[in-house]
Amino acid sequence: MAVTVLIPTALRQFTQNFSEVEIEASNVGEALKKLKEIYPDLEKHIFADDNTLRNFVNVYVNEDDIRQKEGIKTAVKNGDTIMLIPSIAGGTNLKDEPLSLSKEEITRYSRHLILPEVGVEGQKRLKEAKVLLVGSGGLGAPIALYLAAGGVGTIGIVDFDEVDISNLQRQIIHTTKDIGRPKIASAADKIKAINPHVKVLTYNTKLTSKNALEIIGEFDAVADCTDNFPTRYLVNDACVILKKPSFYGSIYRFDGQASVFYADKGPCYRCLYPAPPPAGFAPSCAEGGVLGVLPGIIGCIQANEIIKFLLGAKDLLIGRLLTFDAWRVKFREFKIQKDENCPICGKHPTIKELIDYEDFCGLKSYEEEIDEISAEELKNRLEKKEAINIIDIREPHEYAIAKLPSSKAIPLGQVVRRMDEIDSKNDTVFVCKVGTRSVYAIRALKEAGFEGRLLNLKNGVLAWAQSVDKEMAVY
């Protein structure tokens, strides 16, 4: 008989975060036996040494308590649901004995233990804690390494990207041999290599409005290591709804920001930035560049604040925005006021559930308005010697690295001012690195009244290098 075993939140850390498992069984005992064979770590939390159910775990078949039936011999039929219901008291530590540190852990964390602000009890709190990293790139890398080294017991990572050679300039958790691997797999290996006591939960998926509450709900704190606005607003809103703190970091070129957004005790991210900038206005690190050490500095500040929070410290970066200029080596601090009219954490919130963040950040409207051309299509038109303008809106230092044939360089900030240099009688293709800044250029020209046909080179110079000119340098 195929039955479904439902795993409660407190036990999912022992089932690789699965909330339900399908098992073939004829009775409850057989189902539980197979369950512990699949997830051996679960056994001691369900069964006592004499192989009987622990007295703090109840089992239901559909809606019936098996204690009122035949216990673990209770028969099940196809489609039945078996639910485990452990007693909980606000935490997820199901050990029989109070959480303790082994002799090896005491030596490992000795420099923490001699700090009066940490001590044995503080280190136990770190061991008991669960922290989620949304992203394992530039910011997530140092956070993961230092949380693992510091003894945070469970680290979750959400990321669906693979390691690329261009990541290695700053994403120090990945190495050359990891190129092509899922980032979560690479990061998990390094975490376990640093500290085998850490449990790593990985989510090889994109965080969305459909899964954010379920994933984030499993953790005590969230490290916002994102590189795009839709995910950043999603993380903020989910944390506000779930009453979780979000440890914010962002980087661009030589500038970094860090703060702690905790709506129960201060402002949220929307209080600071009620709405995102127009799509394409704020380039990503892939387009704008970033000094390799900068995410290490900002990520370490995030890790510092996370550890302080887990230890119960009061003086967090709540209500404060810390900025860092890596070129001038200057830190500045600004106060952030809680916005009483904030749509999600204000006195009368209008956002009470997660929304469509792609739409909120203006990405869908941009996609609908802009015509695209692929690298192959552009190549064919050039080979036919069609009259076509190719405008590269990247910065001069980028244009010097790699350029398309017959292209003209007009940096993004000069496009509208210099639109008279573009022949409106011909189709005009706009080019940037990955095809996002060029969208902003097209939108700006349309708003300025340019009448010619405007096309965006889909996926930018990188697409040209991958499918047309494989000798072209990529960056």
Taking CA atoms, 381 is separated from 107, 298, 311, 385, in Å, by 68, 46, 62, 6
The three-class DSSP label of residue 29 is helix
Taking CA atoms, 154 is separated from 93, 193, 387, in Å, by 12, 15, 59
Residue of 271, 285, 342, 345 marked catalytic: 285
Strand 20-24, strand 2-6: pairing: antiparallel
| 285 has catalytic annotation | yes
CB 335 within 8 A of CB 319: yes
Count of residues in the chain: 475
CB 183 within 8 A of CB 190: no
| 268 has catalytic annotation | no
Q: How far apart are CA 39 and CA 13, in angstroms?
A: 10
Q: How far apart are CA 170 and CA 310, in angstroms?
A: 27
CA 280, 332, 132 angle in degrees (round to 5)? 65
| DSSP bridge pairs for 321 | 334
Amino acid at residue number 54: R
Label residues 53-62 b or e (16+ Cβ within 10 Å = b).
beeebebbbe
- Catalytic residue positions, numbered: 285, 432
